[in-house]
Structure 1
Amino acid sequence: MNFLAKTYQLLALTINFIAGGLLLISAYSYLIPPDRFSLPYFFTLAFPVFFFIEILLLLQIFIRPRKYVLLPIAFLLLSFQAVQNYFPTHFEGKDNKMGKISLLSYNIRSFVQSKPTDNGKSNTVLDLLRNSGADIICLQEYNTVPSGSNHQLSQKMVEKVLSDYPYHHVFKPTPWNSGIACFSKYPFKNIEPIPFDRSQNGACLYQFDIDGKSFSLINCHLESNHLEPKDRELYEQIAKNPTQSTDLLPQAKSRLLGKLKRAGTERAKQARLIRQIADGITGAVVICGDFNDTPQSYAYRKIRDDFSDAYVSTGFGPGITYNEQGFWFRIDHILYNNVLRAVDSRIVRQKHSDHYPLRATLQWNTKND
């Protein structure tokens, strides 16, 4: 083997080990709380990038001897659970004929992107909610005004359009910001707001009696990254031309990474609180909402723990729920304990907010009866 061939082989081996190592780090960095050590948190955000690189390395099978793909295969197998979380591969839902409970979670961005309908009496977000067919609707960034219009809705206008949901509750952690809301076809048995320390966001626990069984639901909106339009423009500019944007990297480090670090730290604390509350509840428990974090994050994994994810259990593909200015992530989730089972979950791809609605259909798990 000549010198060039040996050099190429060594280089290829080095690239494979580096790429595989980064994939594994990003797959397991969720184990480290970002409020204790923040660096691993940034690796969790980059998991899809490292996964894509590993897939490209796997394609070596078409141009090189098959032994060279053993490393990418090994690294992909070692990160299999993370891959499944990000890219579930279920082609159709399960049987959902009996005892189903449908739930919709949606960050509506205070209705700011909604538009009046042709009849001028409603708007696109409200029409989507009214026609969703969901039994329970959980909303984040919910905001109304005292006297409404088609773009700025009053609570009275919302309740009129969503008249099929006679039971509703709105919780605003701070009076000057948006809050979270729940609209239900089932009456509430108990409602407990869950404020977060030093945060404009919050959560709320709703408890129902459904089919004679206890059903508890936590609607949460975890800490936002507080990225402003100019932050997103900076990110988009770097993402489109990384080689020509090196002069922007110091600015990105100070602006973007600082905000992401602070938000990730707060979400870690909020996630522990949510999970602590969920662990104290008996019967069926569902946790849903805008987590502002990906399936590989500490916050998501802490809240999920031994729960199941409706989209991971029944969905297909990356399931992007946030799509705005170059940011494409699944940060909205519906989790449930083993008293329930998911029969379907899907992203409603209608662009009336910076988020897409996430819908799931659940059933009582007869194996636990």
Structure 2
Amino acid sequence: MKKLSWFNRGMFFFNIVLTIVTFIAYILPFLAPKMFPILSVLTLFMPAFFIFNTLFFLYWAIQFKKRMVLSGLVLLMGITFINKFYKFSTKEYPEDEKDFVVMSYNVRLLNLFKWLDKEDVPHNILSFINDKNPNILCIQEYSHSANIDLKIYPHKYIYMTGNKIKTGQAIFSKFPIIDQGNIVFPNSNNNVIYADIKKGKDIIRIYNMHLQSIKISPDVNEISENIDAMNQGKSQIMLFRISKAFKQQQDQAEILKEHKRQCKYPVIICGDMNNSAFSYVYRNIKGNLKDSFEEAGLGFGQTYKFKYYPARIDYIFVDQSIKVKTFESFSDFENSDHYPIMAKISLD
């Protein structure tokens, strides 16, 4: 019994530490990363905090200990965050001829540098797009290298940058594009493009964003190696790199937010945010828009290939006047480090 008592004391100490860290993570979406750049990294691990607090709650509940109240309160206070991490159910809507489908996909230059040991990546991606047949397609990290045939889209806007290696953003549409443009971010190769699309009598502004990358490897083992290499300073370098990217993302989010504010049309924002749904950047860009995953998703909605962790860093946000009928994340389609996401929507 004494051993159990000492063990429980140790467990309760870690429970308290976890509670403090979780509360800090709850506050961070409301604080600009420039204020606490290192602490902002905690928002990446919010789902893990939920899981560990749940485990602590169950651990104390099994023993009928009052200490379970601590984790219970933490989970209760964070209940509004749950839908950003996992959706338990979704509504079903009837089909309507006014429905249209939007897809967003970071194609990682169509495997230009052979990150994947496959020769048929461009063909796979083209076949996937043709099969799903979205009305509007937003591509990040687009490349002309594979010369994929997207002639099913009579309207397109492609913005390429770079000298030796050309990369860019692309919007393909089955509806006419009546205006287009790009938002260049200072001191960054990342950007946002937009297109005003005419669907029937309506005009919709489509933004295709690609915010600053935090450059984390999809392999969790590499991160572990960085942490183990504390003496060599690798983990400090990684934290500095992430915090710097978060500060850049803050500036980029504010630029996009201001551009969106001046738009007179209903807005859809697609793309790779390179940040979690628990971040200040997410909250700033989303504003009063709807997150398609929260509206009609199911499960984890994973959009990035990260071992053992269902990362969601790609989004489709829609105007309040737009209804989201379905949302899908195709996490079994492994032809990039990101997964395609798709939403069926309609103008109310």
Corresponding position of 1:322: 304
Whole-angstrom distance in 2 between the partners of 1:77 and 1:278: 34
Match of 2:295 among 307, 310, 313: 313
Residue matched to 1:19: 18
**Displacement of 1:20 after TM fit?**
2.2
Could you give the per-residue CA deviations for residues 120-147 of structure 1, whole angstroms, max 9, x where no partner exists? 9x711111112122100000000113xx
8 Å contact from structure 1 (residues 140, 289) kept in 2? yes
Amino acid at match of 1:139: I
Which one-letter code corresponds to 2:49 in the other structure?
F
Instruction: Note if 1:132 corresponds to 2:121.
Output: no
Tell me the CA shift for residue 87 of structure 1.
1.5
Task: Measure, in 2, the Cα distance between the counterparts of 1:267 and 1:285.
Answer: 20
Q: Report if the CA contact (8 A) 1:283-1:339 is conserved.
A: no
Q: Tell me the residue number matched to 1:149.
A: none
1:251 corresponds to 2:250: no
Distance 2:135 2:90 in 1: 24
**For each residue in 1:194-232, what CA deviation from the matched residue of structure 2 results, as whole angstroms up to 9, or x when unmatched?**
111111111111101213112111000001124579x97
Q: What is the CA distance between 1:292 and its match in structure 2? A: 0.6
> CA, structure 1 residues 56+227, in 2 after alignment: closer, same or farther (shift >3 Å)?
closer
Q: Which residue of 2 aligns with 1:36?
A: 35
- Give the counterpart letter for 1:268 in structure 2: Q
Change (3 A) 1:47 1:130: same
TM-score between the two structures when normalised by the length of structure 2 = 0.89
Task: Say which of 158, 167, 170 aligns to 2:155.
Answer: 167
Distance in 2 (CA, whole Å) between partners of 1:326 and 1:177 is: 33
- Unaligned runs of at least 5 residues, structure 1: 146-152
SS in 2 for 1:199: coil
Give 1:65's aligned residue: 64
Question: Is contact 1:116–1:124 with CA below 8 Å preserved after alignment?
Answer: no
Identity between Structure 1 and Structure 2 (%):
23
Q: Deviations over 1:306-346 (max 9, x none)?
A: 11100111112221111146665111001112111211101
Q: 1:116 to 1:128 in 2, by over 3 A?
A: farther
Counterpart of 1:350, as a letter, is F
Alpha-carbon RMSD = 2.7
Matched with 1:142 is 142
Aligned to 1:102: 101
Q: What is the match of residue 148 of structure 1? A: none
Letter in 1 for 2:105: Y
With over 3 angstroms needed to count, the CA separation of the structure-2 counterparts of 1:350 and 1:271, relative to structure 1, is: same
1:300 matched to 2:282: yes
Q: Which residue of 1 aligns with 2:77?
A: 78
Match of 2:158, as an amino acid?
Answer: V
Q: Distance in 2 between matches of 1:256 and 1:326?
A: 20
**SS in structure 1 of the partner of residue 233 of structure 2:** helix
Q: How many Å separate the matches in 2 of 1:94 and 1:134?
A: 18
- 1:333 is aligned to 315
CA contact (8 A) 1:173 1:201 kept: no
Kept in 2: contact 1:19–1:54 (CA 8 A): yes
Offset of 1:67 from its aligned partner?
3.8
Change (3 A) 1:232 1:258: farther
2:300/2:310 contact within 8 Å kept: no
- In 2: Cα distance, 1:228 partner to 1:329 partner: 12
Letter in 2 for 1:300: Y
1:200 equivalenced with 2:183 (yes/no): no
1:279-298 per-residue CA deviation (whole Å, 9 max, x = no partner) reads 21123211110001110111
With over 3 angstroms needed to count, the CA separation of the structure-2 counterparts of 1:115 and 1:165, relative to structure 1, is farther
Counterpart AA for 2:18: A
Amino acid aligned to 1:295: A
Q: Give yes or no for the alignment of 1:347 onto 2:329.
A: yes
Q: CA deviation at 1:74?
A: 1.3
Q: Which residue type is aligned with residue 83 of structure 1?
A: I
Alignment of structure 1 residues 172-251 onto 2, 5 Å: 172-175=160-163, 176-227=165-216, 234-237=222-225, 245=228, 247-248=229-230, 250-251=232-233
CA distance in 2, matches of 1:166, 1:77: 50
SS at match of 1:131: helix
Give the 3-state SS of the residue equivalent to 1:46 in structure 2: helix
**SS class of match (1:350):** coil
Report the equivalent of 1:361.
344
Task: Write the deviation string for residues 21-66 of structure 1: whole angstroms up to 9, x where unpaired.
Answer: 2222212211111123212311111212211110101213652116
Stretches of structure 2 that go unaligned for 5 or more consecutive residues are none
**SS class of match (2:316):** strand
**Distance change >3 Å, CA 210–CA 184, structure 1 → 2:** same
